[in-house]
Every structure is written in C-alpha cells, then in structure tokens.
C-alpha cells in the first residue's frame, strides 16, 4: 500500500470515530421520560415538579440540565 492510500484509510477511520462519538453524545442528552411510578403518573402541570426537583429539594436537577421552563414538553407523562 503506498502512502496516499494509507492517508485515505486513516481519514475514513477518523471520520467513523467522529460519527460514533457524536452519536453517543446526542444519545446521552435525550430527555429521560417520566418514570411510570405512582409519583409521576398523574402529574399534569409543570408547577408540581419544583417541590421535589427544584434547587435544594430531594431530587434536584443537575447543573448541566437544559432550560427548565416547560418540564412536560421534554418529559412527557409515561403511558
């Protein structure tokens, strides 16, 4: 194999790794659905979330949580 071909192969491998990495990243930032437990099943208003998920509450959101205005738009109620 001469040198130009080896460079092409390296480029293809690098591109493949990049695609794989981006796929992983985008998966990990998909919003988790509401857990189908008793607490979350009947929640229909965003205002219900804060007592448990607000800052300083039992299950606070992580710092890197995306914009928080409309919880149920991104976390739909489980069926």
As measured in angstroms, the least distance from the Cβ of 61 to ligand HEC is 4
As measured in angstroms, the least distance from the Cβ of 51 to ligand HEC is 6
- 78 contributes a contact to ligand HEC by CB under 6 A: no
- Answer for the pair 78, 41: CB distance below 8 angstroms, yes or no: yes
In this structure, what are the phi and psi dihedrals at residue 56, rounded to the nearest 5 degrees? 80, -5
Give the C-alpha separation, 51 to 10, whole Å.
52
Place of tokens 């092409």: 8
**What character string, x for contact with ligand HEC (CB under 6 A) and - otherwise, covers 5-44?**
-----------------------xx-xx-xx---xx--x-
């Amino acid at each position: 194999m001469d040198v130009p071909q080896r460079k092409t192969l390296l480029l293809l491998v690098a591109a493949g790794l990049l695609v794989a990495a981006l796929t992983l990243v985008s998966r990990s930032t998909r919003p988790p659905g509401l857990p189908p437990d008793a607490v979350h099943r009947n929640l229909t208003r965003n205002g219900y979330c804060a007592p448990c998920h607000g800052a300083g509450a039992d299950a606070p959101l992580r710092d890197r949580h995306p914009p928080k205005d409309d919880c149920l738009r991104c976390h739909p109620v489980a069926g």
